[in-house]
Homo-oligomer: A and B are copies of this chain.
């Protein structure tokens, strides 16, 4: 199964195209033949999520099936389904990021592509470093995390 690790600095050109780094591209090709899905994340640190299609399908079904009489569920559905975009790489291994997602994550020229195991995250470089510097953990640590030992 696919396993994305590490981060890469990449550039988006004026047309919104971005070249997937060759190493990541390889993993994507064998995970899903290059068929990927981009979407928005739903938490307050805005970035774009990049899923291999099979992984996305699992998630999609779960989200579609949530009963949506409650507001937070509708919000999640509108963000995640409403921003999802199936993508294929062009002959040069590039993908085109839709304007809505560029807006969501504030993507301009300089980006960071961050491996997260089953998926990748795509950040505005500026925001990524901001986030790294700011982040701290004053919130309650959930029990399943407390049990970890790094």
Interface residues, chain A, CB within 8 Å of chain B?
A: 3, 5-7, 9, 41-45, 49, 59-60, 62-64, 66-67, 70-86, 98-100, 114-118, 121, 131-132, 135, 137, 139-142, 144-145, 148, 150
When chains A and B are docked, how far (Å) is the Cα of A80 from the Cα of B149?
A: 12
Docked-complex contact B150 and A80, CB < 8 angstroms: yes
- Of B45, B64, B85, B131, which is within 8 A of A118 by CB? B64
- Of all A-B residue pairs in the complex, the 9 with the closest CB atoms, nearest first, are A5-B84, A82-B114, A64-B117, A6-B85, A7-B100, A7-B82, A72-B141, A72-B139, A70-B142
The smallest beta-carbon distance between A36 and chain B, in angstroms, is: 13
When chains A and B are docked, how far (Å) is the Cα of A86 from the Cα of B73?
A: 28
- Of B42, B82, B150, which is within 8 A of A6 by CB? B82
Docked-complex contact B117 and A150, CB < 8 angstroms: no
When chains A and B are docked, how far (Å) is the Cα of A70 from the Cα of B78?
A: 21
For this chain, the copies found in one complex come to 2
When chains A and B are docked, how far (Å) is the Cα of A51 from the Cα of B86?
A: 21
Docked-complex contact B82 and A116, CB < 8 angstroms: yes
Docked-complex contact B100 and A66, CB < 8 angstroms: no
Nearest B residue (CB) for A85: B6
With a cutoff of 8 Å between Cβ atoms, the chain B residues found around residue A43 in the complex are 71, 74
Nearest B residue (CB) for A80: B150
